[in-house]
Structure 1
Amino acid sequence: MAASRSATRAASPALACGVTAGERVPRRRDPSTRRVASASVLAMTLTITRAAGSADAGGLLCHLRERSRPVTQTDASYHRVPDEVPPPPSGCPVTGFTPFAPDYLADPYAVLDGLRDTPVFYSSELGYLVVTRMDDVTDVFLDPETFGSQNVQDPVFPLSDAAHAVLAAPDFNPVAVMSNRQPPDHGRIRNHTKQGFSNRRMRILEPYIRRRSHDLVDALLAEGSPADFVPVFAHPLPGETIYRFIGFPTSDDEKLKEWCSDRLAFSWGKPSEAEQAEIARKMLSYWRYCRDFVASKVDDPGDDYTSELLAVHKQDDTELTYREVESIVYGLSFAGHEIVSHFLSNALTCLLPRRDQWGELCADPSLIGAALEEVLRFESPQTSWRRVANVDTEVAGVKVPAGTNIFMSLAAANHQPDIFDDPGDFDIHRANARNHISFGKGIHFCLGARLARLEANVALEVLTERLPSLRLVEGQSLERFPNITFRGARQLLVAWDA
């Protein structure tokens, strides 16, 4: 039987909020951040014009010596957070909507349901046009020429001086390679990066994922009931899996986890100046590690993803440059770690309170795949994604000027009542659950979707087999990571029978 989300829904945030469409909107600043014109010198986001001696407006680019010919970037832009954001599109409702609000962090679906009658609106808090309807979100995804992805990993708020200084290091020079790379180069790179996620590679990884899942259940048992599922199971399994996929040695796992932590907050959250600087230092250390690691694989390849990318580069450096290989390795650790960690914890928050459905999975593991698709629809680990209008255009009848940042609400689309009957009910037998949009659409469809599904499927097979009495500790209040895009629990206390 499907279980219902609370029938109480939040009222729609008041429109207008004292702002008239067409007025310029001062950007709301968190007191912990400073107004700094910021090149997005991020691990996975920096888009670089790689002609020798080129420099960005902030003087951050150094002379890049490629080990292959330069690739012309058609999207050589440096997204900055301006002192003033573009005005709301004319005729567009304006709201005080923000994903950082406590009510949204607690239950985004209730907040979004209150806005269901306003499918496109402008958030004065974010400076983004918010798009909530499935058809409109899909249209934006499927039109990369009109709606560029160059802003998807930019910080929501400006970088502090200290973080800016760290990432201005001459040797910190990753390039955009995946989710924020634009056509035509995106197609060239994707053609090779997707080969590593083949059925053969998944077959190689599955025994490792299953073995580690059993090891981590052993770790839970050693911890004793109750235990926190996030640090013991949900966090290490996808991290270690993506490290093995890339080819990193197991001896480096702990320092890799340390370096890669908190990057979610850097690009999608609201970290303090001190936190920004600390995360930036970790990013720089990890980039240097990745460069050394890729260099070590040049003459000592193995049966891993990095070696496959280098083989393409060696065969034809116009297909993948050496810097692009370094940057793919660098960016993949986050994409393949944090999202899957949230996927695993969200699966338990959906399934464990619904004992009848959990019991069905324990009795019949063949249902796990369908159950996970409903998890992705009902409580996606990724609730939004971003685009920017490259040209003057229109979304759902609203005229959108070039340069407008767009916040696509995957959470709202996945709970759209005219697509999913009773969307607030969680039902592992939902016939069209796979129609969710949690992995995106079009040319930027999630590269690691197959691996994420494999990890979650194997993890649930092991958990249902070994811990059928697994349950959530009653009375706990789930604290979510405060950010605009990813949804997962910081802590998830679980218990089981001895």
Structure 2
Amino acid sequence: MTPQALDLPVPAAIPRLDLFGDGFVRDPYPWLDTLRTDAPVHRDPGTGLWLVSRYEDIRRVLLDPAAFHPDNAQHAVTPLPVGVLRVLAGAGFRLPPALANNGTESHHGLRRVVTRFFHAKRVAAAVPAIERIASELLDAAQERLDGNGSCDLFESYAQILPCRVLMELLGIDGIDPATLVRWSDASLELFWGRPTPERQLELAVLVGEFHQWLTATVSTAPQPPGSFLEALTRHLLPDGRPLDVATAVGACFFVFIAGQSTTGQLISTTLHRALAEPGVWARAGDEQDLAEAWVEEVLRREPPVTTWRRVAAERVTLGGVDVPAGAHLLLMLMGSGSDPEVFDAPDQMCPHRANARHHLAFGVGRHRCPGASLARTEAAVALRAAARRLPNARIAPPDEQPPILGLLSFRAPQSVRVTT
């Protein structure tokens, strides 16, 4: 084994790497830079994952699904105790290969069903609805600001906007958006977090409720004509069999989490960074294309999906390191956006940089996020609408350093409290 595969040499100024530790979560960049420079493929002893940090290596992995399988993409990072497994089993919880975790021949057809509902033309047609929902939520935010002197744009705006948009696009009603957000966030924490056993039990109950609701929703017949759920129920697998309910639920599980939680995290980061960067908020409401360009820089530098996983199908040399067959890889997507071999002045936010869209925040290849266009559009609309409605908004103390969501693959401010 080559030296790079050994534990990362620890610079005196940086504490030992803990992917869930507050130091790494709050400011991961020193570690990401050190990994990329000194140990681009590094086995993390705390998790057993092989961290892949350089842009070109990550891109190679994502573009070679035969050598690097997606099977572990939705596995629980923290082992689930027997009690938690019983709760999930009691709810009928299963996640068969569907989208992010699907390396089989059924993936292409399922992905095509999803992309039909999130392609660029459909998203462009949805902009008036996104703007309407944003305006309604900002009305309520303005009332809170007027009444209390401050308002948290994370919980009242960034979290709820993508959930309501997704419900309209997919024809979902009869449920409170806050409930869907709570279920989605619980799923992220259970499968990508490091919760205590007691917290795992609490989360398992919520995830079980989410799965049961999805199962009942998918199983309801008939589905509205032309709806996403109707398209799923009509979909045929490669062998000609109708799509089974469990796989349809697995696809919905991924779509709902990506369409709600991760998009909400992107909006949260976009708003917070725009408020913190001198001059951006004041211009974002009216300067043409600035909101879109700002979102792209956030995706490059501080994406909501910070890492993703793959399994090495066989022994492979990656970044000069011999990686054994069966190794679980953690692709450091967030760090790849700051690779100086690809991006000039990577630590600076530079809207309109020439190669802004070369980042890997949405992945690349056959598993590239099918909701990328929707996420980009929602975040840009959210920023532009908020900057216009609240032109004098500024970050309210102590949210200059807000609490940060620190899951293995997801990171974002959990509060964007503003005052005027």
TM-score (structure 1 length as normaliser): 0.77
Q: Is the 8 A contact 2:153 2:418 kept in 1?
A: yes
The counterpart of 2:137, out of the listed 216, 220, 227, is 216
Cα 1:250–1:465 change in 2 (3 A) is farther
- Aligned: 1:419 with 2:342: yes
Q: What CA deviation, in whole Å up to 9, does each residue of 1:224-271 have, x standing for no partner?
A: 131111111111111222222332215443433333332211111101
Q: Which residue matches 1:93?
A: 6
Q: Which residue matches 2:274?
A: 351
> CA offset at residue 118 of structure 1?
2.2
The counterpart of 2:408, out of the listed 476, 484, 487, is 484
> CA offset at residue 288 of structure 1?
1.6
- Aligned: 1:102 with 2:22: yes
Q: Which residue matches 2:255?
A: 332
Cα 1:403–1:251 change in 2 (3 A) is closer
- Distance (Å, rounded) in 2 between the aligned partners of 1:338 and 1:260: 6
- Aligned: 1:257 with 2:192: no
Q: Which residue matches 1:145?
A: 66
Q: Is the 8 A contact 2:215 2:245 kept in 1?
A: no
Root-mean-square deviation (CA), in Å?
2.2
> CA offset at residue 343 of structure 1?
0.5
The one-letter amino acid paired with 1:100 is F
Q: Which residue matches 1:277?
A: 201
- Distance (Å, rounded) in 1 between the aligned partners of 2:186 and 2:236: 31
Quick check: which one's helix share is greater? 2
Matches within 5 A, 1:19-98: 92-95=5-8, 96-98=16-18
- Aligned: 1:361 with 2:247: no
> CA offset at residue 303 of structure 1?
4.3
- Distance (Å, rounded) in 2 between the aligned partners of 1:170 and 1:258: 17
- Partner of 1:488: helix, strand, or coil? strand
- Distance (Å, rounded) in 2 between the aligned partners of 1:432 and 1:454: 19
- Distance (Å, rounded) in 2 between the aligned partners of 1:170 and 1:125: 31
Cα 1:127–1:189 change in 2 (3 A) is same
- Distance (Å, rounded) in 2 between the aligned partners of 1:318 and 1:189: 13
Larger relative contact order (CA 8 Å, sep ≥ 6): 2
Q: What CA deviation, in whole Å up to 9, does each residue of 1:295-352 have, x standing for no partner?
A: 22x32424431122223359x9536344322322233211111111110111122211
- Aligned: 1:127 with 2:48: yes
Q: What CA deviation, in whole Å up to 9, does each residue of 1:71-103 have, x standing for no partner?
A: xxxxxxxxxxxxxxxxxx776121353211222
> CA offset at residue 474 of structure 1?
4.1
Q: Is the 8 A contact 1:189 1:319 kept in 2?
A: no
> CA offset at residue 406 of structure 1?
0.7
The one-letter amino acid paired with 1:442 is G
> Unpaired segments of 5 or more residues in structure 1?
1-20, 22-88
Q: What CA deviation, in whole Å up to 9, does each residue of 1:91-139 have, x standing for no partner?
A: 6121353211222111111222233232221111111111111000100
Q: Which residue matches 2:13?
A: none
Q: Is the 8 A contact 1:189 1:320 kept in 2?
A: no
Q: Is the 8 A contact 1:98 1:126 kept in 2?
A: no
The counterpart of 2:38, out of the listed 114, 117, 130, is 117
- Aligned: 1:197 with 2:110: no
Q: Is the 8 A contact 1:120 1:130 kept in 2?
A: yes
- Distance (Å, rounded) in 2 between the aligned partners of 1:169 and 1:153: 20
Q: Which residue matches 1:245?
A: 169
Identity of aligned residues (%): 29
Q: Is the 8 A contact 1:234 1:344 kept in 2?
A: yes
- Partner of 2:51: helix, strand, or coil? strand
Q: Which residue matches 1:309?
A: 232
Number of residues of Structure 1 aligned to a counterpart in Structure 2 = 408
Q: Is the 8 A contact 1:103 1:111 kept in 2?
A: no
The counterpart of 1:447, out of the listed 367, 370, 373, is 370
- Distance (Å, rounded) in 1 between the aligned partners of 2:69 and 2:417: 40
Q: What CA deviation, in whole Å up to 9, does each residue of 1:131-187 have, x standing for no partner?
A: 111000100111111111111111112102211111222733342200001132222
- Distance (Å, rounded) in 1 between the aligned partners of 2:171 and 2:251: 13
- Distance (Å, rounded) in 2 between the aligned partners of 1:445 and 1:465: 32
Cα 1:284–1:419 change in 2 (3 A) is same
Cα 1:258–1:102 change in 2 (3 A) is closer
> Unpaired segments of 5 or more residues in structure 2?
9-15
- Aligned: 1:178 with 2:91: no
Q: Is the 8 A contact 2:186 2:206 kept in 1?
A: no
The one-letter amino acid paired with 2:87 is V
Q: Which residue matches 1:169?
A: 90
Greater gyration radius? 1
